[in-house]
Structure 1
Amino acid sequence: MRLICGLLRRDGQSATAATLDRMVAAMTAPGLSPRVTQRLSGALGLAVLDFTGAPAALQAGDGWTVAADARLDRAEGPAEAAVAAALRRDGADFPDHLDGDFAVALWRPDRQELWLGRDFIGARPLAWTWRDDCFAFASLPKGLHGAGMASATIDPVALGIQLSQQFFHGAGSGFAAIAYLPAGHSLCVRPGDAGLPEPHRAFRPDPARVGRWRGSPEAAAERLRDLVRDAVLRRLPPGQPVACHLSGGLDSSAITVLAARAARAAGGRVLALSMASPQAVGPPELDERPMIAAVLAQEPDIAHALVHDMPPMPDQAEDPDWPGSLADGPDDRMMREAAAFGARRLLSGVGGDEGATYNGAHLYGRLLLEGRLRTLSRELPARARRDGVPLRRAILARLAVPLIPDFLWRWLKRRPGVMDPRLGAVRYLSPALREAVLARRMLPILRRNSPAERVRAFADHHIPSRCAFHAIMGARHGVAPSFPLLDRQVVEFMLSLPTPMFLADGQTRQPFRRAMAGILPDRVRLSRHKVGLFDGRFLHYADRRAALLARLATLRGAAGIGDLFDLDAIEAGLSSLPVAGRGEGHVRAAPGGLAAGQPAWVPLLAVAFLIAACRLSGATPAEKGS
């Protein structure tokens, strides 16, 4: 794994090793000793931190100096040379002509140009800041604010988006003075530039090309199986152990099994990392633990580590790189387990829902809108049989209701969904901040299954932020996450599939289910539902409702908090937490415990906003440590 950082002086001064040393130190977690390579060239300074101990080849030839955090596919020679060749050949579009995981910086002294680039999906993070005297960048935000290159002041709008939609959007980092280079973009900076540099979008998928693949369902499954297997193989470090996320779902289970089989053939080792609530959450037939066990029983040489999900509470320390996230949380602990196993790379199933195991809602309605009546007449009755419901009920639930316009649906339900633009999660923000968040929020995906939505899922939504989060967790342990289901070839193939390919025999998530026959245990491959972590968190907070309400009371009158949050709405959300009860062998919510008409997300998000308000009521941990 590598991290990179650098600066370009804009005031006529020369870059110094001392500044680079501060940036390197800020990104080096305790206990790690990366091999650091620096290059100073007048106004420019670059540094590469290599956690494998290998030296970085900063010189790429033909006058280019390159700092690369890169794992490239289908590239000959060193990554630095391949990146420089792509920039010479394709100009500002160069990130779209490289396959793999990368964040890179390139300097051409004769042109006095510094270029940054990030892979199409944002697998490797890259943040930057702009000051009167210099431009600076780093793989991690703390490489900037921790080194005094940028302020750690929170961006309330970006934080509001993250609290409402789980991840940051676009350039948002959560810090007012720090921006991420958006995934699939390049950026050019020159010492004499007068204003902020403007990122250039290199990855520009065309919605008009979505759904154009023609072939049989069997051919689609075979093609997808080959692409996913190859994507996993390309990400296995030769002769080294590897870690994999394993949740019991289709995505992570497939990656874990494929990695285990490939590693077994090469004499390697695989560690599966699972996160679960301390107690099983019911009903028992939906708990993910038996599905995890089914994968481990099928592949008995996989090592396994289980990390308990311990939901954050107010006044716990915040992560210095990720505002709104708990320091030393369960994701961090999984990376620690990976490092202890000797793994320098972790394979994750992130991105499957949006592509390889496409989980688009309302697919039957999409079939109707596209006029695919033959497929609809076959698949809707099949779904009714699988669900064990009369066909008329399936028609109502799967076809009629999804086609109701959003405004009418809200009126009929008399309650908002979590993404409702007026009364959803943003209810917990102050009115002024609410409007700003709505203006910058992520637009819906996976709802209407339109070509524009399917493209947006990869080009302009939460995936880059989700990848950055895992990269940040891995960086403090010398572990580099990679995402086989976000392989460029996998993504492009799934975007090419027409809507009917996602349904077969009354089941969604096709053609992946067919592709994984003989790879995944049928218990996992054919499963329709599982209980997630949020069910356990719901009950965890229910047991602590009184403490949460008492902590909220202490925020009344705190300077500035009322300008950001609607404390009355947060109190109402916390008050709707249920009484928790225990069933036999699992934990369940007591019937009637949740306030009438309130969806489960209402109190869960109220807790998240309370935690954010508590942290913002004083200086953030990042500010205290910088």
Structure 2
Amino acid sequence: MAEQGLVTTVSSEAGTATVVGWVGSFRDRVAGAHRLLDAFAGAGVVPRPPNGDYAAVLVYRERILLMRDESARIPLFFRQSDGRVSAVSSSARSLGDAEELERRYFCRYLTGNMAQPHTALTPFTGVRRVLGGEVVELSPTGRLHGRIRRPASASGGLPPAAAGDAGPGTAAKELRRALENAVSRRMGTTTACHVSGGLDSTSVALLAARTLTGEGSRHGGLVLLSGRFGSGELAAEQPYLKEAIQEIRRHAPEARPVIVDAGDVADFDDFRHHAGDADEPHAHAFRAPFWSRLHAAASERGCDILLTGCGADPIADTNPFHLHRLARTGRLRGLALQARAWAQGSERGVRDIVHDYVLKPALPLAAERIGMLASPGTVLGGLGAFSRPPWLRSGFARAHGYREAAIAESRFVFGRAPERSLYDAANYLAAPDLLSWHRAREDGYFLSHPFLDQEVIALMRGLPAEATFRPGRPKAVLREAMADLLPARIHHRTVKTPFDQLYVRGLQVHGDDLIGLCRCARHPLVQEMFDVETLCRAVREARLGVGDAYSWDRVNSSLALVMWLEGLLSASP
């Protein structure tokens, strides 16, 4: 990784810093590492970790600090025993013993696909994760002195005087400024932008093009990376993609379009490799074949960073849990009016809106239990994000704290104020980067997500709902912020084709193989943890279209765990 430029090591009179990723600005990684080293140099000084995508180890004469930025895209782990840290690594697998697995971790992992990166547990006994925004302090001999993690910053929004009467125009200007800063910080020598023809990715690529051609710009080349589907429902995205690339190249004629033929790709292709070789169980390993093809194309063009539009859906859109705040504070008339407006704008019923954004956040586990009781007869019927999947053995769940893990996960996702917790949860759901990390040594770059920049999140967190809510017009503030750059066709579109086709095709092609892999699994923990036949039945139901996105996520996570455990056996001497 150091040879690829992914690791920066600097020294000064204060000490030595080793940084994986970048601090402050991608192009000024050495300067950023020095600033980080100087910021934490004073005895007892532990400021908030600055913006960036990084994990760092700072070694001073009197102490050692381990830290990650708040977005937590790049992992960092340490091995601990008897209060002393003996090793630090960006790979949990390199620190762990495959014979000593932490069963509580697997219960936490199986509660939902956000449980993995925001908890300290890892699959290996004695190996712990440094959390996002956390600073772990050690003595020079490795004695653990403490872990400091501040709550997510709510600062950075509009000034108090402007926030009260912030209309969409003011909010749009501030969002444009924050996004321009986020993109500029991430521009490399050769920057790739994933362009799908949607509002989010096109906005990022247009801002990158403007940054590239701006006065006094020191930025290098721009690659526009896209997947092409010649048939099926995803083929309908091609006209939008073509228009997006044309507009981006109007601003930056030297930008190079790279269109990758993805017509033959399907989810779960080579699943044993993508899920089995990962550092940790990877809930989104089923989607790895598509992203791997794009990653390889960017690597071949010498790109040193790849920007995506991930995160815009939860971050740049209206916060629906504002309805929960209205109910919590007794403003029932306002709740009724806004629930009707939400229902009208999203073509859903008022009852569904109130259930999803008022009742379920208040009683998530009870709501899921009722949903499962109301949908008998199938394995996936009513299975939500937290309830125990039927194929997880009840004895294993009781022995290793599944219920406690589900409660903890639901509190993280919704919290006492779901409208505030949304942003913390979205950071881990919107851009699962384990694939990027797994391929980094081969590709020579990381993914980065401007919409998940801390400045952007802080701005959107501070906006009043009145400034962002426009019935029937999702991401209204983003649309206004980018109105002068976006092609009209993309500016006005409100529906984008999902990647369901790849998932359906993947289960149709690989369903029997996945079932066979589960039945033939050799790792003893698979049988200890799962009722394999029930899991196989769930795969068959998913292939037939039974269930919903929540229940399919639970199947995908469990299949990835089976393959990961099998990968441990294959890697053992």
Cα separation, 1, equivalents of 2:294 and 2:411: 29
Cα separation, 2, equivalents of 1:363 and 1:453: 6
Residue matched to 1:349:
309
CA positional deviation for 1:383: 6.1
Cα separation, 1, equivalents of 2:184 and 2:385: 41
Cα separation, 2, equivalents of 1:404 and 1:306: 44
Residue matched to 1:491:
457
Identify which of 171, 179, 184 aligns with 1:233. 184
Residue matched to 2:370:
411
Cα separation, 2, equivalents of 1:428 and 1:359: 36
Counterpart residue identity of residue 304, structure 1:
V
Map 1:138-287 to 2 at 5 A: 138-141=89-92, 145=94, 149-152=95-98, 154-162=101-109, 165-167=112-114, 168-169=116-117, 170-192=119-141, 198-205=146-153, 213-214=163-164, 215-237=166-188, 240-265=189-214, 266=217, 268-275=220-227, 279-281=231-233, 287=236
CA positional deviation for 1:403: 3.8
Residue matched to 1:71:
22
CA positional deviation for 1:106: 1.6
Residue matched to 2:73:
123
Cα separation, 1, equivalents of 2:243 and 2:410: 34
The superposition leaves residues 46-81 of structure 1 with CA deviations (integer Å, 9 ceiling, x where unpaired) of xxx252499x553222x3222223533389982343
CA positional deviation for 1:399: 4.4
Cα separation, 2, equivalents of 1:320 and 1:409: 31
Residue matched to 1:466:
432
Is this contact kept in 1: 2:75–2:90, CA < 8 A? yes
The residue matched to 1:65 in structure 2 has which SS?
Answer: strand
Cα separation, 1, equivalents of 2:10 and 2:243: 46
Structure 2 vs 1, CA of residues 443 and 128 (structure 1 numbering), >3 Å: closer, same or farther?
A: same
Residue matched to 2:252:
none
Structure 2 vs 1, CA of residues 446 and 157 (structure 1 numbering), >3 Å: closer, same or farther?
A: closer
The superposition leaves residues 561-602 of structure 1 with CA deviations (integer Å, 9 ceiling, x where unpaired) of 221112232122123145xxxxxxxxxxxxxx545xx33654
Structure 1: state its 5+ residue gaps: 1-27, 29-48, 579-592
Is this contact kept in 2: 1:121–1:464, CA < 8 A? no
Residue matched to 1:542:
508
CA positional deviation for 1:242: 0.4
Query: Whose helix proportion is higher, 1 or 2?
Result: 2
Cα separation, 2, equivalents of 1:620 and 1:468: 21
Residue matched to 1:93:
46
Is this contact kept in 2: 1:445–1:453, CA < 8 A? no
The residue matched to 2:493 in structure 1 has which SS?
Answer: coil
Is this contact kept in 2: 1:127–1:140, CA < 8 A? yes
Identify which of 464, 467, 471 aligns with 1:501. 467
Q: How many residues align?
A: 535
Structure 2: state its 5+ residue gaps: 250-254, 376-380
Residue matched to 1:477:
443
Structure 2 vs 1, CA of residues 328 and 610 (structure 1 numbering), >3 Å: closer, same or farther?
A: closer
Is this contact kept in 1: 2:24–2:52, CA < 8 A? yes
The structure with the larger Rg is: 1
Identify which of 398, 404, 407 aligns with 2:353. 398
- Quick check: 1:429 aligned with 2:392? yes
Question: What's the % identity of the aligned pairs?
Answer: 18
Structure 2 vs 1, CA of residues 130 and 464 (structure 1 numbering), >3 Å: closer, same or farther?
A: farther
Cα separation, 2, equivalents of 1:403 and 1:105: 42
The residue matched to 2:20 in structure 1 has which SS?
Answer: strand
Structure 2 vs 1, CA of residues 189 and 496 (structure 1 numbering), >3 Å: closer, same or farther?
A: same
Is this contact kept in 2: 1:545–1:577, CA < 8 A? no
TM-score w.r.t. the length of structure 1 is 0.73
Structure 2 vs 1, CA of residues 513 and 328 (structure 1 numbering), >3 Å: closer, same or farther?
A: closer
- Which stretch shows the higher mean deviation, 346-355 or 253-262? 346-355
Cα separation, 2, equivalents of 1:72 and 1:401: 38
Is this contact kept in 2: 1:185–1:203, CA < 8 A? no
Identify which of 242, 245, 252 aligns with 1:293. 242
- Which stretch shows the higher mean deviation, 245-254 or 453-462? 453-462
Identify which of 31, 34, 37 aligns with 1:84. 37
Cα separation, 2, equivalents of 1:131 and 1:369: 44
Identify which of 246, 266, 270 aligns with 1:310. 266
CA positional deviation for 1:219: 0.4
The residue matched to 2:73 in structure 1 has which SS?
Answer: coil
Structure 2 vs 1, CA of residues 201 and 615 (structure 1 numbering), >3 Å: closer, same or farther?
A: closer
TM-score w.r.t. the length of structure 2 is 0.79
- Which stretch shows the higher mean deviation, 213-222 or 518-527? 518-527
- Quick check: 1:331 aligned with 2:264? no
CA positional deviation for 1:228: 0.5
Cα separation, 2, equivalents of 1:452 and 1:369: 11
The superposition leaves residues 330-387 of structure 1 with CA deviations (integer Å, 9 ceiling, x where unpaired) of 43333322221121112223333342x1364465565565639579748945863x56
The residue matched to 1:257 in structure 2 has which SS?
Answer: helix
Cα separation, 1, equivalents of 2:526 and 2:468: 46
Cα separation, 1, equivalents of 2:287 and 2:478: 35
Cα separation, 2, equivalents of 1:361 and 1:446: 17
CA positional deviation for 1:108: 2.0
Structure 2 vs 1, CA of residues 521 and 141 (structure 1 numbering), >3 Å: closer, same or farther?
A: farther
Residue matched to 1:39:
none
CA positional deviation for 1:259: 0.8
